[in-house]
Every structure is written in C-alpha cells, then in structure tokens.
Amino acid sequence: MNSFGIKNQSFSDSELGIKGPTTYWNLSPSALIEKTVTLGHGKITSSGALAVDTGKFTGRSPQDRFIVIDDITEGKVDWGNTNKEISPDHYDKLYNKVIKYMNTCEDVYVRDAYACANVNYRLNIRVVTEFPWQNLFAYNMFLRPDNQAKTDFQHDWVVYSFPGCLADAKEDGTRQENFAVLNFTKKTIIIGGTAYTGEIKKGIFSALNFLLPTEEGVFPMHCSANVGKQGDTALFFGLSGTGKTTLSTDPDRKLIGDDEHGWSKGSVFNFEGGCYAKTIDLSENREPQIYKAIRFGAMLENINFKDTDNRIVDYTNSEKTQNTRVSYPIDHIDNIVFNSRGDIPQNIFFLTCDAFGVLPPVSKLTREQAMYYFLLGYTAKIAGTEAGINEPQATFSACFGLPFLPLPPTEYAKLLGDKLDKGSTRDDKNINVWLINTGWSGGEYGKGSRIELVFTRSMIQAALNGTLEESEFVTEPFFNLSIPTSCPDVPNGMLNPRDTWPNENDYDAKAKHLQDLFAKNYEKYERFSKV
C-alpha cells in the first residue's frame, strides 16, 4: 500500500479501511484533472474546464437516500418518503461492502475539507472517492484548508463515494442498487451505485440540517446569499430552475454563497467553498459571472459539444439531461465576500417559477405569509422538462429544500419565524420578505411569456435599495398578496398579473386552480399556521 500527497502523518490509511489501493491525498486540481484525462474519464473544453459524464444518474435519487435509525435519530428525524430509515445492521453490511469494494480499486483519492465558514460551527470532512474527478468536485465545493492545516487535520465526518459499489436490495435493505446513507452515530456517509457528485455535497448538507438546529440552535438554509455595498445582506430561496444562482450572482453585490447557508445569532455564513450551478441555456450575456467562472479548475457534468474538435460546449443541448451542471471554487467569481460571512439579512426573496402565470412578478409578504410560502416551497414544472409532463404541474418542496431536511419542516419554519421576530438589521429595520415570480405572465406556459430577466433584476434591485417600499401597494384578491403599483425600469402594466391576461375570466379560473392546490398542500401544516 502506497500513500502520496499532503496529509496528517499520524493518521493511518488503514483507519479509513484502506488496505490495498494506492492512496492519493489532497492532490491539486491540476493533478486530479491530469489523472482524469489520462484515465479517459474526462475532456478539457475550449474554456479550460474539465467535462465529465456521471453515467446513468445525472441527478440525485431522493428515493434512495437513507438515514440510520438509532438513539440519536429515532425520536427526531421526520421519517417517511423523504427520510427513509435503515437499520444499523443493514448499514454495517453495506458499509463493509463499500470497504471491500474500495480495496479492489487500484487507486483511491482522499480530500480533507471543511464545511461552515463560521469556525464556531465548522465540520471537518474527509471525502474518500473512487474517481479523481469526484475528488475535484469535493475540492471545488467544500472549504479548503491550507497545506499546514492538512498536516494536522482530524476529521469529524467521513464520506465514502464509490459508484462501482452496488447494493443488493434484499440483502442490504435498500430500494435498488444505488444508495446514499447517513449514519449520525458513526458520523459517516456512504454513497454507491451512482456517480452523480451532487450526492456528496447534499449528504453533508443533510447532516448539517440535523446537527445545527439540534445542537447549536442555528437555522440551516437552502438558499444563496449576497451583500451590497452598504453591507446589507440578502437571501434568495428557490427550487431548481427558479433563478437562485443567477439572481444572487450580481456584479453590483458580493456573493457569500450560492446554495447552502447558516443563520446564527448576528450573522449568515456559507457552508461551502464553491458553486454548483445549472448550465442549461447558459450564455455570457445573461449570466456573465457564471459563464466566465467556467475555466481551468471548473468541472462540467453531462454536457455536449457543438464543436467536438474544438471542444466548444453547447449549453443549449439537453440530450443527456436538463440538469447539466458546473462546479467551481467560489473564487472563480470576482465579486465575492472572502470570509463567506455577512450580517443578518435585510431582505429575503422567495423565488418561484410559476408556469401557471398567475402569481405577481413581485409582492411583499407579511410574517404570516412568509411562514406560509416557506412551508409551501412552491414552483411549477413546465411541459417538456420531464417525460409525461404536457402542461404546468405544481411542485412543492417544504422550506425550499425538503429532500435535505431530516427534521420536520415545521421545525425549520419555526427557526425562520424566530429569526424574523428577533432579528433586526444593522439599520434597525424590519427584515423584508418578498415573493418573486420568475415564471410566466400574460397566460400560462405555452400561451403567455416568460418574465424577462432584466425586469426581475430591476424588481430585486428596487427592493434592495428601498425604492420599492416607497411605491403604493394594492392587494390582489386570490392570494391576498401586496403588489406594488410601480417599480423603476419595469412596465407598470405587468405588476398586476390579472391585467396581463387577454381574458380576465381565464385568469380567475387559473388563479382559483392554483389557490386550491396551495390549500390542499398546506393542510398538513395547518396546525402551524398561527406560529
């Protein structure tokens, strides 16, 4: 057994169960990219980024995520379809299978990293992977210790990710051959049967979503965050495709992070050290900072080339998946907060892509409405994005991140309510919460048109600089939302969605339909409505 790279010399590879393979510790991005290309696992694109294919799985598999039921989790985890239980015995068998498989590999790759930019809540992570490009992903996405810190590094949690290790559903207690399992007693995550790298970051995010509320009283959030020139922090919550990464990456504001944050007493902090952005339909004009971040060190997943010889990426191509992705270190973005921390937010934005075309493009929420829409976590899938979807379909993901929430959603909503009640901004102003529709106007998908990004940016800018609050507001009848009558650089006629439809009766019918969907989904949270 050979071991190369920078590591804590007092730590033995055998403590990770490694007995046969050559172990590469904390290799540089250049070395990992070189190994990936040499192995034939990836190609260098015209921009210098590495392009890889994650195989059968091009996204997470929520139905195959498990949590070990034990003394720590039994009475706290919200067990069900989101959090599936697995017994300690089944976990031990599956863990041993992963270790046995690992030791059949010629090489393995180990990465030491941190989660949580606030050192008071920092988690030391050791990521063990089958492929070098998986290790590059871990380098990109987590916080990076310097070389001196690596020589003293001691892990809190270990993540094993071995796509070639397949479960036996009957024997191992899984649903099928792929799996991602969290064990809070052993502080270990095992991933097998899938090479989709997002399982690595979301495994740690799920762990923090359990640990931070229960042990530290910190509110963990699936959101992006940025800071203005006056030091004002803004949060952006939204499901995939709503514009969370796009809208938080603003040349006039410094980025704290694009996906996962904690809200502690007096501050907001990033969990990660990188960004994991969707690239479908990416263009330099629409998203210049993300586009320019895709250079050497970045890793593209499941893209196609429009010019194979010159390795020019076709960002419009969705033959493999709509979920094409890029990971890159956060410092690939020029305009960032280098300590990845900010003050408590002055503005919070809930983003929804309403394909029914009935929600206003911007509205201001009361505290009660903020709780309501946070628990709903609404957006809509559009026709053509998934097989069998021929018309808009409502999607609800509580707290804008249900698949990653081990605790009941109401526990996270209570944390939000507590922060809204107790938190005042640096200017002693109330925290504003806004609902932003990045979807359709003038009709549903196929009849109306997508709200232009330039208008959405103008609305958010007006909310951030305070000019939107100076507008007169009216209340629309279906959702009881407070709508501004004017907004700088936005046509007044598009602010009230009913006015944009050719036929008001058609609008009323579609709004009533969505209203009913909201009410039906919220029934399970009704007891929480007055919190």
Q: Enter the tokens of residue 94.
A: 């599956």
Return d(Cα 456, Cα 466) in angstroms, integer: 15
**Annotation says 60 is catalytic:** yes
Name the catalytic one among 23, 35, 58, 60. Answer: 60
User: Residue 63 in contact with residue 45, Cβ under 8 Å?
Assistant: no
State how far the Cα of 257 lies from the Cα of 269, in Å rounded to an integer.
8
* Residues in contact with 468: Cβ distance below 8 Å, sequence separation at least 6, in sequence order: 362, 364, 459, 462, 484, 487
Q: Which entry of 174, 224, 233, 245 is annotated as an active-site residue? A: 245
Active site residue 527: no
Of 432, 277, 326, 306, the residue nearest 369 (C-alpha): 432
Task: Exactly one of 47, 240, 321, 425 is catalytic; name it.
Answer: 240
CB 530 within 8 Å of CB 410: no
Annotate 345-371 with DSSP letters as a single string: EEEEEEEE--TTS-S-SEEEEPHHHHH
Residues across the chain: 531
Catalytic annotation, pick one of 7, 155, 201, 244: 244
User: What six digits make up the tokens of 490?
Assistant: 């936005």
222 among known catalytic residues: yes
What would the two tokens of residue 115 be? Answer: 């989660």
Place of tokens 């195959």: 64
Rounded CA-CA distance 319/136 in Å is 25
SS3 state of residue 477: coil
Q: Decide: helix, strand or coil at residue 87.
A: coil
Active site residue 245: yes
Of 90, 150, 155, 325, the catalytic one is 325
At how many degrees (to 10) do helices 198-211 and 132-141 cross? 40
Write down the catalytic residue from 35, 84, 126, 202.
202
Cα radius of gyration rounded to whole Å, the chain: 23
Does the active-site annotation cover 325?
A: yes
Separation CA 397–CA 403 (nearest Å): 8
Are 335 and 251 contacting, i.e. CB atoms less than 8 angstroms apart? yes
Distance between CA atoms of residues 286 and 292, nearest Å? 12
Q: What is the H or E stretch that residue 254 is in?
A: strand 254-257
**Distance between CA 110 and CA 128 in Å, rounded?**
5
Active site residue 428: no
Contact 165, 128 (CB under 8 A): no
Closest CA to 419 of 408, 404, 430: 430
Q: How far is CA 284 from CA 164, 279, 294, in A?
A: 37, 11, 11
Determine the 3-state secondary structure of 305 from DSSP: strand
CB 173 within 8 A of CB 100: no
414, HSE (Cβ side, Cα atoms, 13 Å)? 11
Q: State the catalytic residue, choosing from 259, 324, 363, 397.
A: 259
Catalytic residues: 60, 202, 222, 240, 244-245, 259, 325
